[in-house]
Structure 1
């Protein structure tokens, strides 16, 4: 499973959080928003994560423009049911605030990895 990181803030922190999970088969790469979204669109990556001050603006703007709103979700809390429902609905791009990284990323990536 390949996760690309875009967004405006905290890219390195998101990457470090994912790597610290030590999940087998999980690859992670920091890209600019356009390339990250195009990798999702083309199938070269499975999921996009990004952070910004609101969790839905700069984190997801390019993803919403290229993938459509239905494939994107801003997360406002680390809620397992919300994350599962979003993944069940086919969401591929997730945005959140940098303050939520340590709570959201382990839940989100753990659930993603369990589906691959």
Structure 2
């Protein structure tokens, strides 16, 4: 089971999509950006998901500060769509915090969770 913490905007929608996609293979917890990033750093959670209006600013700013820029990735910017190949690449690179725009939550979270689950099975 992978453990995901959720921060930023539209947390309830992110959690709903994580739960729908991951079913019983994912535990998702809504938290603040700060607490979520601290849980990942402490090993109490595996991944952080956050959303903001742009997808790259507030969605990841706290996670970048706590986890480091090299552990974070924006996977869907405002006006964009998720690219499954790019998401898979970021997961394979070992990224553990992911940001997205609020408008892309419904299309991004399923792709991201599927990739995280695939990576955890390897």
Is it true that 1:110 corresponds to 2:114 in the alignment?
yes
Q: How does 1:20-59 map to 2 (within 5 A)?
A: 20-59=20-59
CA distance in 2, matches of 1:96, 1:22: 18
Once the two structures are superposed, residues 72-95 of structure 1 have per-residue CA deviations (whole angstroms, 9 ceiling, x without a partner) of 011223111101110111100000
**Count of matched residue pairs:** 115
Is it true that 1:3 corresponds to 2:7 in the alignment?
no
Q: 1:23, 1:113 within 8 Å by CA — same for their partners in 2? A: no
Displacement over 6 Å in runs of 4+: none
Secondary structure of the 2:25 match is coil
TM normalised by structure 1 equals 0.94
Aligned partner of 2:85 in structure 1 is 81
Query: Structure 2: which 5+ residue stretches go unaligned?
Result: none
Q: How does 1:50-69 map to 2 (within 5 A)?
A: 50-69=50-69
Query: Structure 1: which 5+ residue stretches go unaligned?
Result: none
Instruction: Identify if the C-alpha distance between structure 1 residues 61 and 22 changes in structure 2 by more than 3 Å, giving closer, same or farther.
Output: closer
TM normalised by structure 2 equals 0.90
Q: 1:36, 1:48 within 8 Å by CA — same for their partners in 2? A: yes
Aligned partner of 1:95 in structure 2 is 99
CA distance in 1, matches of 2:21, 2:61: 27
TM-superposed CA distance for 1:110, in Å, is 0.8
